[in-house]
Each structure stands twice: as structure tokens, then as C-alpha cells.
Amino acid sequence: MTWIKRNLFFAIGGIVSLALLVVAGIYDFKSYSHNSAALNKLNETYGTLKDLASQKPSSGNAKVDNVGAAREQEKQIRDWANQTGKYFQPIAAIPGSPEVTSEAFAAALRRAIDQLQHEAEAADVTLPPKYGFSFEAQRSLVKFAPGGLGSLAGQLGEVKVISEVLFAARVNSLDSVQRVRVSDDDAAGPQADYLDDHSVTNDLAVVTPYVVTFRSFSGELAAVLAGFASSPHGFIVKGINVQSAGSGPTSDPSQGNRYRESPPPAPGSPAPAKGGLQTVLKEQLLRVTLEVEIVKPFSKK
């Protein structure tokens, strides 16, 4: 105690110095911890960057510009999409006016059905009696349910184009065209005119299904498929079902690519001599059902 009294200032200074050393030690420890955490974070970030640089594709380096390559590929895809647009041309509605009235549609429907019947006759394609091409429910109407005229006009244009593909292929007969219901008036139509299906809309387009049933030989069937494939209107043949529609048809040179059934021999007629001309082509008539979809991309803004 005597020494402390004699050296009071020295003792106080020592205590203060000790306290400052403790504070400095604590500060250094905290700084070390902070620096260590920062170093660990830096190493983690560097490792992530190294992993990204080693991936394929990476953003590139001084010699390889993967970003520029990605932009060039995007441009190529956009150019390709623009080129394919010519295969997805829209089918004109009938009538083609923006606002379709009952009077305009009724008149256009009668003209379209009459035109298709004449085209079928010119192509030697047999139709069901007084066939309405899936518009039997609307055929006799002059007033139509509100809200469905625009869709009906679009379907009429599409049915016309589908039918004309079959006429161009000169199929033997068109049995039916089936479409989806788009109007309240369709509820009164015959079931054979409709599909239990609906159009599908995604981010790019509207896809509308149709089913056509016809009779032909394999040559005409090939022409139908080629007609849909070469059409500019985005047809996709989703499915095909082929069955025999009869037996015994043989070629008829007088009909070109048409065929007829061989008539049975008359009673009492002599049997054909052996060694005569042999049948070179013998093919059965086919009953074909095609599931056809029309892809209608949205208009570009």
C-alpha cells in the first residue's frame, strides 16, 4: 500500500495501459474474425465463378464469345420461324368481313355449299344426298344464335379448304366432314356433323381439329396426304384409319386413275379361256378416316 501511495500515478497509468491492451486485443480478435469471414466469402464466390466458367456453355472468355454465339443462334431461330410462317397462312373466313351478320352468313353458307357440290361433281366425287358439309344445322336458318357467327364463318372457310383438298385428289366419295361445336345452333344438328372435342389454345397458336371420312384407292389417298402436306395453311394429319370398303375392284383403263367393280359373269356364259390376259392391277376400295388439325398461329403485334 505504501508503494502504491508513493507511486499512485504510475499504478493508475499501469492499470489504464492494461485496460487499453485488453480492449485492443478484443478489437484485434473481432477484426480477425471479420476478415476471416470475408476471406471465406471471397473464396466461395471465386469457387462459384470458377464452376460457372468451367460449365458448357459458359459465358466465354477472351477467345470464345458464348454470349455472342447465343445471340446469333437466337437470330437464326427467329429467321427460321419467319420462314415457316409461309406454311401457316390463315384460312379466310366465309364471309370475310370483320363483323359477320346473320344475313351475310346465311347467304355465304348457301353459296359455299352450292360451290362445293359443283366442285365435287366436276371432280367426279360422290357426296351424300343434299350434303351440307357439316352445316346442316345452319343450312335452313336465317337468324343465328348470337356470339357464334365469327367462329362459324371461320369453320366454313376451313371446311371448304379441306373439302377442296379431297376434290383435287379425286377421291371416289366424301362420306363426312366433322367439326367441333362453336355455336348454340350446333346443338340441333345431326351428331354425325360434330366431334366430341374442342380447339386448343396455347401461347403460340390455336389448334382446331377436324375429321374427314372418304372412300378411295391408295393412289388417291397418297394424293390427299400430299395435298395436306403441301398446303400453306398449317394442316397436320394427326391420325389415319384405313379399312376395306368393298371387295373385287379392278382397274378400268377407260377411267384413267378411277376404278370400278368387276361385274359378275352372266349365267351360262363361257368361262374365260386360260392363258389369256391376266389382271395386272387389283386393288380394294378403302374407307379412310383422317384426323386433321389446323394450326393457326397468333398474329404478330
- List the grid coordinates of 290: 383422317
- Measured between alpha carbons, how far is 156 from 160 in angstroms, rounded to an integer? 6
Give residue 2's pLDDT band: very low, low, confident or very high (50, 70, 90): low
Same domain, 26 and 148: no
Using the predicted structure, report yes or no on whether residue 191 has a pLDDT greater than 80: yes
- Can you give the pLDDT at residue 77? 74
Same domain, 226 and 114: yes
- The answer to whether residue 80 sits within a structural domain is no
Measured CA to CA in angstroms, residue 135 lies from 55, 109, 157, 172 at distances of 59, 8, 12, 22
Is the CB of residue 166 less than 8 Å from the CB of residue 125? Answer: yes
Is the CB of residue 108 less than 8 Å from the CB of residue 155? Answer: no
3-class SS string, 86-113: HHECCCCCCCCCCCCCHHHHHHHHHHHH
Is the CB of residue 169 less than 8 Å from the CB of residue 223? Answer: yes
- The answer to whether residue 264 sits within a structural domain is no
The residue that leads in pLDDT, 251 or 127, is 127
Using the predicted structure, report yes or no on whether residue 248 has a pLDDT greater than 80: no
Give residue 287's pLDDT band: very low, low, confident or very high (50, 70, 90): very high
Give residue 261's pLDDT band: very low, low, confident or very high (50, 70, 90): very low
The average confidence (pLDDT) of the chain is 81
CATH number at residue 289: 3.30.70.60
- The answer to whether residue 45 sits within a structural domain is no
Using the predicted structure, report yes or no on whether residue 224 has a pLDDT greater than 80: yes
* pTM confidence score: 0.66
- The answer to whether residue 143 sits within a structural domain is yes
Same domain, 29 and 103: no
DSSP state of 179: B
User: Identity (one letter) of the amino acid at 63?
Assistant: K
Using the predicted structure, report yes or no on whether residue 294 has a pLDDT greater than 80: yes
Which range of residues forms the domain containing residue 97? 93-254+282-297
Give residue-wise pLDDT tens across range 44-96: 876 776 776 666 655 566 666 777 777 888 787 777 666 777 778 999 999 98
Number of domains in the chain: 2
